[in-house]
Structure 1
Amino acid sequence: MAKSIRSQRGKKMRAIKRVRYAQKQLKQLKETVAKTVNHVTVGSMDIDSARAEVADYIEWKKKQVAEKLQKQEESAMDLDEVPEFSMKTMRNRSGDYPKWMGQKQIRKQKYKKDKSRRSNGRKKGW
């Protein structure tokens, strides 16, 4: 069976990709080897210095978390007024629907409100 131009081109492109990915793979392997060498040197340290490094890291991490929480509290305090929102009507004080609510949902909500308003006054007596 004859080889089509399409299959020949695909073969050629795969060869090009192989070369490109081989370079990337080689780079990744070198980085991995460099990291393992660092881990081996750290692993050969004595236990006391390793514990000290871990303790320093834990303290540093705690400080980071505390700073992050403090920033969040400050930003929460910056908010002057939290808009009140009614789950029944799905509206805030000014009568606006939330941003995340789509037009279809708004129409449904309006229909529900209108329906309850209509049926409230009249009762069917059989």
Structure 2
Amino acid sequence: MTAPTPPSLADEPRAVRITTDGAKATVTVDGTDMSKTLAGYTLEHRAGQPPMLVLYPTPNHQAAFDGLAHVVIADEPDPGPTVAAFLRTVDPVALERAALARDDLDGTRHELTRAMLAQLTDWALGKAT
């Protein structure tokens, strides 16, 4: 028998209020201002479901919302350092060679840049093209 899961903010919808001027946001959950403890949030709303507010340490997003939402504390780190670490491993010679060998080069302006970005995306997704 497994131990019961401790309660979380996501168990029941919470009263949420978000106001922002585009640079700074005020986020309150159940009347408690959480703004000083947040670096950012994501608000998602799908048809037929209550909105979901995800709180995590990323730059603030411009938004406005006042209503009930499920609230989840994200454990996803900022992807920036991971992306930077990946890019530091890229061999520029191999990148150029792979980009020039792609079959989606179209002869238009900036085709090599587009091909390099597509190649980096493929490599990041584990595609060996």
TM tier relative to shorter chain: under 0.3
TM-score, length of structure 1 as denominator length: 0.27
Q: Higher relative contact order by CA 8 Å / sep ≥ 6: 1 or 2?
A: 2
Compare the two structures and name the one with the higher helix fraction. 1
